[in-house]
A and B are shown apart, each in its own frame.
Chain A
Amino acid sequence: MTPSADLLVAQNVGFYLIAAVMVLGALRVVTTNNVVHAALWLVVVLSGAAAQFVLLAAEFVALTQVLVYVGAVMVLFLFGVMLTRAKIGAERELNNKGWFLGIPVSVLLLVTLVIALNDGFGSERMPVDVAPMDTAVVSDQIFGPYLLPFWALSFVLLAAVIGAIVLARRD
């Protein structure tokens, strides 16, 4: 490897391995006949996404992804599965009658996206030797120029909390 070559073999190998696992996991999420398995495959996809975030020099986001998604959201999902008394084992009829409609739509969408991306970014390369993003910079962004969306987000969270309580309480 010459220093100038920015092929970055190790990172590429890592990327493709993780990407393959992610795609496989995502496919299992949408095809498995077992709701609990689907949730566990989703964990694989989300953890893979966290790993990709590390490759993208976004350590803080990766940590947040693990904490919030893999930690909290998945627990919520499992609770949702249990509270709605889904069978723990395999189950038929998890799909709609018109499930085959999804295949042409998503393939069409993928084709569109691939054409557009190929056209737009062709063989553009990522910058090399990127230092991980400083968390302080992210925090300065959040509490600086993007303060307004942050406020809006706070309201969304508040509304979601109240809404979830109102919807789920038994009275």
Chain B
Amino acid sequence: MLLNQFLFLSAILFCIGVYGVIARKNAVLVLMSIELILNSVNINLLAFAMRNGNADGHTFALYVIAVAAAEVGVGLAMVLLMYRNRRSIALDELSEMRG
């Protein structure tokens, strides 16, 4: 097996995730796209862990999974709050940051 085949897979997933973050309007879908990005990072970490033959990548992959779980929890709580306040979770309606 080539190292690069894993890295390319990871890169493709990453870019698809980026596309999702940019293109999607529904906040839940944006969160899903972020999960794609985080997963591609994990594949990268584990591929290098195998290449280097140590457990550092495993450790950090586990950390990434834990952080992702926390992120989804907080993210969905924010989405719920948003839904409660404006009856919609469309991100393009949130333009308070307009300069």
Contacts and interface: CB of A to CB of B under 8 A. Distances in A.
B72 A167 contact: no
Contacts of B58: 58, 60-61, 133, 138, 141
Interface in A73-129: 73, 76-77, 79-81, 83-86, 93-97, 99-103, 105-107, 109-110, 113-114, 117-118, 121-127
Interface in B16-54: 16-26, 28-29, 31-33, 35-36, 39, 42-43, 46-47, 49-51, 53
Q: Which 8 A-B pairs have the closest CB atoms?
A: A160-B70, A30-B20, A102-B22, A99-B23, A167-B77, A102-B23, A113-B11, A106-B19
Contact of B4 (A80, A81, A101, A122): A122
Given A19-B9, A61-B46, A96-B25, A160 B18 contact: no
Given A22-B13, A106-B22, A121-B7, 16 more contacts: A15-B5, A30-B16, A30-B24, A30-B29, A45-B36, A52-B6, A52-B46, A56-B49, A61-B62, A69-B68, A84-B79, A86-B28, A99-B22, A99-B24, A123-B2, A126-B51
Interface size on A, as a range, is 35 or more
Contact of B3 (A29, A84, A125, A161): A125
Contacts of A123: 2, 4
A90 to B, nearest CB: 13
Interface in A29-74: 29-30, 35, 38-39, 42, 45-46, 49, 52-53, 55-58, 60-61, 64-65, 68-69, 72-73
Q: Describe A's contact surface by its main secondary structure.
A: helix
Interface of B: 1-9, 11-26, 28-29, 31-33, 35-36, 39, 42-43, 46-47, 49-51, 53, 55-63, 65-74, 76-81, 83-84, 89-92
Contacts of B68: 69, 73
A59 to B, nearest CB: 10
Interface of A: 6, 8, 11-12, 15-16, 19, 22-23, 26-27, 29-30, 35, 38-39, 42, 45-46, 49, 52-53, 55-58, 60-61, 64-65, 68-69, 72-73, 76-77, 79-81, 83-86, 93-97, 99-103, 105-107, 109-110, 113-114, 117-118, 121-127, 130, 133, 137-138, 141-142, 146, 149-150, 153, 156-157, 159-161, 163-165, 167-168, 170
